[in-house]
Homo-oligomer: A and B are copies of this chain.
Amino acid sequence: MKKTRLEIEEAVPALKLLGDKARLTILGMLKNGECCVCEFTEVLEMSQPSVSQHLRKLRDAKIVKEDRRGQWVFYSLNESYEAYDLVLGVIDHVSDQSEKIAELERQGKRIECK
């Protein structure tokens, strides 16, 4: 794991955002690559506006970046984020979320976004 040292003031906003079930799950999903918004709403079983607002916070903080492709918006981890190493480190400590995405795949719910 990398050793980029952050000032407390830089780390706190990132950690504040990580300390939420929805957002930590989102980031866990993104560890395996980009996801589209509809996948988050499926996995999180939350309303679309709620997911959208969590994404906005992560986006405003530069933790994730978005990429609109037609109707869909895909999110991914922003490797240029100052606390990227910290975020990755934390994600590495939580259980893999890829199973949840695989589950979507099985249910054919991932196709819709592609």
- In angstroms, Cα B6 to Cα A49, docked, is 28
With A15-B24, A21-B12 as given contacts, are A90 and B92 in contact (CB-CB < 8 Å)? Answer: no
How many identical subunits does the complex contain?
2
The answer on a CB contact under 8 Å between B16 and A19 is yes
* A67 lies within 8 A of chain B by Cβ: no
Interface residue from B7, B83, B85, B94 paired with A6 (Cβ < 8 Å): B94
* A111 lies within 8 A of chain B by Cβ: no
- Enumerate chain B residues within 8 angstroms of A11, measured Cβ to Cβ: 24, 90, 93-94
Contact code string A73-92 (vs B, CB < 8 Å = 1, else 0): 00000000001011001101
The interface of chain A, by Cβ under 8 A from chain B, is 1, 3-9, 11-21, 24-25, 28, 83, 85-86, 89-90, 92-96
Sorted nearest first, the 9 A-B pairs with minimum C-beta distance are A16-B19, A15-B19, A86-B93, A15-B18, A1-B1, A19-B19, A5-B95, A11-B94, A89-B89
